[in-house]
Amino acid sequence: MDLTARQIANLEKVLQAGFRFVTLERYGRYFGIERDGFAILIDPGEDKLSTFGEAGYLIGDGIGMLVERGGAKAFVWHQESVTATPELLAAYERFRSEVGSLFADEH
């Protein structure tokens, strides 16, 4: 994967913000960024980086999406799930907000 100077500068901002890069085998075209167990896929297209899909919680080899089941919220990946406690939901919202801020100038 060849990256432009602009993409590299944005990736450096991501690292400085405390995120780490992750690779999820099933999403070969994309790479992910992770912090505090939450992740989102990044699409290194053309001259910019953009988020792909929704942020979620890392479960096994995938990203669990936030769903509501029977009045309770959980992050679900296939048959696995993690209960979305108030603390986890607050961390999820922080993650989403910070990712949005980091990639706002890319859209």
Give the 3-state secondary structure of 46-80. Answer: CCCCEEEEEEEEEECCEEEEEEEECCEEEEEECCE
Q: Is the pLDDT of residue 107 over 60?
A: no
CB atoms near residue 44 (< 10 Å) = 19
Dist CA 107 CA 94 (whole Å): 20
Dist CA 38 CA 90 (whole Å): 12
Domain boundaries, the chain: 5-106
pTM of the model: 0.89
- Tens of pLDDT, residue by residue over 8-27, are 999 999 999 999 999 888 88
Of the candidates 31, 54, 47, 46, which has an alpha carbon nearest to the alpha carbon of residue 100?
54
